[in-house]
């Protein structure tokens, strides 16, 4: 007679690191404070305010104002822009920071944002601002994490990876179809995040 215990599938465990998402909350706080400063300075949709506070302006960067590649990732144009990027940072940031710790998470966020700005500078002349390049870097790093650990994480990990790839595809499609979205920043951030996460 066969022992029923032998027929049960064996469960394998893969311990995941869990860190408190401190850096994510700090970044959200900085972005919120900067948006308040934009508002009291004349409005977050005011072009002059954006230029004065450090938005990506291609001729000014070409003239030597390289700091705009960094400062532009903390500015947002309108409440909805702030809400979408803030929400994405909260959802993706808390997950990635819990997996990698605040130092690696922050390095991926800032470097992805910087590479997103560089891609936008190289391929687009439009004024731009926002954390979306950095946020796409987080998506890329998460994709790298679940791709690398898809065997250990089993069906759940593979399903999570497919969800992330679908999210990337949808957002890039929207970026190519909506003229006001800086898709080059998204692509630059995504590639950087994927490489850094790997």
d(CA 34, CA 17): 32
d(CA 51, CA 142): 32
Under DSSP, is residue 128 helix (H, G, I), strand (E, B) or coil?
strand
Q: What angle do CA 173, 141, 71 make, to 5 degrees?
A: 80
Q: How many CA atoms lie within 13 A of 57 on its CB side?
A: 14
Give the distance, in angstroms, between the CA of residue 101 and the centroid of all CA atoms in the same chain: 16
Q: How many CA atoms lie within 13 A of 79 on its CB side?
A: 0
Q: Is the dihedral of CA 77, 79, 82, 84 positive or negative?
A: negative
Please pick, among 81, 124, 132, 149, the residue that the annotation labels catalytic: 132
Catalytic residue flag (residue 128): no
Assign 3-state DSSP to the chain and report helix, strand, coil percentages, each to 5: 75, 0, 25
Instruction: Locate 53 and state its tokens.
Output: 């506070």
Catalytic residue flag (residue 132): yes
Catalytic residues: 132, 186
């Amino acid at each position: 007679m066969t022992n029923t215990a032998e027929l049960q599938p064996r469960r394998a465990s893969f311990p995941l690191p869990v860190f408190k998402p401190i850096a994510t909350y700090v970044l959200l706080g900085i972005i919120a404070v900067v948006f308040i400063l934009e508002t009291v300075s004349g409005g977050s949709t005011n072009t002059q305010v954006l230029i004065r506070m450090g938005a990506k302006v291609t001729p000014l960067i070409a003239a030597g104002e390289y700091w705009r590649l960094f400062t532009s990732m903390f500015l947002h144009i309108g409440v909805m822009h702030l809400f979408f990027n803030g929400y994405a940072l909260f959802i993706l940031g808390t997950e990635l920071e819990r997996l990698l710790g605040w130092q690696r998470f922050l390095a991926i966020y800032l470097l992805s944002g910087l590479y997103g700005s560089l891609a936008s500078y190289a391929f687009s002349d439009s004024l731009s601002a926002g954390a979306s390049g950095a946020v796409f870097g987080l998506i890329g790093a998460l994709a790298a994490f679940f791709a690398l650990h898809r065997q250990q994480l089993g069906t759940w990990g593979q399903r999570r990876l497919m969800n992330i790839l679908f999210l990337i595809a949808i957002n890039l499609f929207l970026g190519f179809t909506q003229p006001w979205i800086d898709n080059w920043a998204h692509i630059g951030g995504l590639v950087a995040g994927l490489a850094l996460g790997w």
